[in-house]
């Protein structure tokens, strides 16, 4: 396996992290807290979609919590002083909630697809209880995937955190699993979003319906946000995996590592964009006066 000096630091990446993570953390925390307050205390209606979105908000908030420690780890350059187990915890928090977010967006898309395309089947498949069970199973699965990180011996005494990951790249099983999860989720989100937009477009044809047009824009913007945030990161993950296994010239190893770290930063901006998506949904729901529209687009 091709290797890279893990102590190598990239000043550009460190600066880029500050530029992206600081506003992402600040705005993401404010936006997600506001969305959670509205969902829990203003709407007070625990439908399937509210349950999924509440879980998505918590996933985004937990991911945001890991960002200051990720920046700190890069700043101290291998002199992590917050404990090896805490390092393992924040590393797990970062990766677990990244894929928790991806899978929750997939569940929201599937739930909306069933409700709109198969309304009779939805009566059997959709319920707040089933949504709660689905979220519980999801969290058990993604957190179970982090168990190996806690079972391994304590990190080296050099105080590194959010760096190295030699066991992560060894054999390629873990990154390939991450790529597989993303491909499945992305395929489901694209399929559901395209089918829903086509269905709503047929309803809109022949009449001016601002509410349904807005619904299509919300779904389309959610799809674009999902793909823009997470696709570059997984492309970079694949390319870097190939370089680590010497399937790409070693000369590209450093540049691909930088590319991967930049894409990781950009992926975290989804925490802010999700909150803006919640705002559009809640605003659209409150503006809508047509009960049929609420049945067609059961987001809240």
Concatenated DSSP letters of 232-252: HHHHHHHHHHHHHTTSS-GGG
- Write down the pLDDT at residue 4: 58
Domain that holds residue 61: 11-296
Residue that is written with structure tokens 């529209």 in the block: 293
Q: Are 179 and 97 in contact (CB under 8 A)?
A: no
Q: List phi, psi (to 5°) of 157.
A: -75, 0
Share of the chain above pLDDT 70, in %: 81
- Specify the pLDDT at position 296: 42
- Whether 28 and 64 have beta carbons less than 8 Å apart is answered as yes
Of 20-34, 42-56, 252-266, give the lowest mean pLDDT range.
Answer: 42-56
- Mind listing the pLDDT tens digit for each residue in 62-96? 999 999 999 988 888 767 888 888 888 998 999 99
- CATH number of the domain that residue 242 is part of: 1.20.1070.10
Token pair 């939805």 in the structure block, residue: 122
Angle, alpha carbons 297-299-300 (nearest 5°): 125
For tokens 């999801």, name the residue. 138
Residue 45 per-residue DSSP state: -
pLDDT at 282: 65
**What's this model's pTM, rounded to 2 decimal places?**
0.87
| The total number of residues written for the chain in this structure | 300
Does some domain include residue 4?
no
Distance CA 251, CA 261 (A): 17
What does the alpha-carbon distance between residue 132 and residue 98 come to, in Å, rounded to a whole number?
Answer: 20
| Residue 128 to residue 119: CA distance in whole angstroms | 16
Residue in 77, 87, 68 with CA at minimum distance from that of residue 9: 77
Residue 5 domain-assigned (yes or no): no
b/e map of 25-55 (b: 16 or more CB within 10 Å)? bebbbebbeebbeebeeeeeeebbbbbbbbb
| 124 falls within a domain | yes
**108 occurs within a structural domain:** yes
Question: Does 280 reside within a domain?
Answer: yes
* Residue 112 included in any domain: yes
Task: Determine, yes or no, domain membership for 1.
Answer: no
User: With 90 as the cut, is the pLDDT of residue 107 above it?
Assistant: yes
The answer to whether position 89 is within a domain reads: yes
Task: Give pLDDT tens digits for 33-49.
Answer: 888 888 777 776 788 88
Q: Give pLDDT, residue 226.
A: 93
Report how many domains make up the chain: 1
Number of other CB atoms surrounding residue 81 within 10 Å: 8
């Amino acid at each position: 396996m091709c290797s890279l000096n893990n102590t190598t630091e990239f000043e550009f990446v460190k600066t880029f992290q500050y530029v992206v993570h600081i506003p992402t953390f600040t705005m993401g925390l404010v936006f997600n807290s506001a969305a959670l307050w509205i969902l829990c205390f203003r709407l007070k209606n625990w439908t399937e979609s509210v349950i999924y979105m509440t879980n998505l908000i918590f996933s985004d908030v937990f991911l945001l919590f890991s960002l200051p420690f990720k920046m700190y780890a890069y700043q101290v350059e291998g002199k992590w002083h917050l404990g090896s187990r805490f390092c393992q915890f924040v590393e797990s928090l970062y990766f677990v909630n990244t894929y928790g977010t991806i899978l929750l967006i997939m569940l929201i898309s599937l739930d909306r697809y069933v409700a709109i395309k198969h309304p009779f089947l939805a009566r059997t498949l959709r319920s707040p209880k089933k949504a709660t069970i689905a979220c519980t199973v999801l969290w058990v699965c993604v957190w179970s995937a982090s168990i190996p990180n806690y079972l391994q011996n304590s990190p080296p005494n050099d105080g590194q955190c959010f760096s190295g990951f030699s066991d992560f790249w060894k054999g390629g099983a873990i990154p390939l699993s991450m790529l597989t999860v993303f491909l499945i989720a992305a395929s489901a989100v694209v399929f559901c979003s395209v089918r829903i937009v086509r269905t709503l477009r047929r309803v809109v044809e022949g009449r001016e319906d601002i509410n349904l047009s807005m619904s299509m824009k919300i779904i389309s913007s959610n799809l674009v946000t999902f793909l823009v945030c997470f696709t570059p990161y997984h492309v970079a993950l694949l390319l870097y995996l190939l370089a680590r296994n010497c399937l790409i010239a070693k000369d590209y190893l450093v540049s691909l590592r930088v590319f991967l770290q930049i894409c990781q930063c950009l992926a975290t901006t989804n925490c802010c964009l999700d909150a803006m998506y919640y705002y559009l949904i809640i605003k659209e729901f409150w503006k809508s006066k047509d009960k049929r529209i609420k049945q067609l687009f059961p987001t809240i």
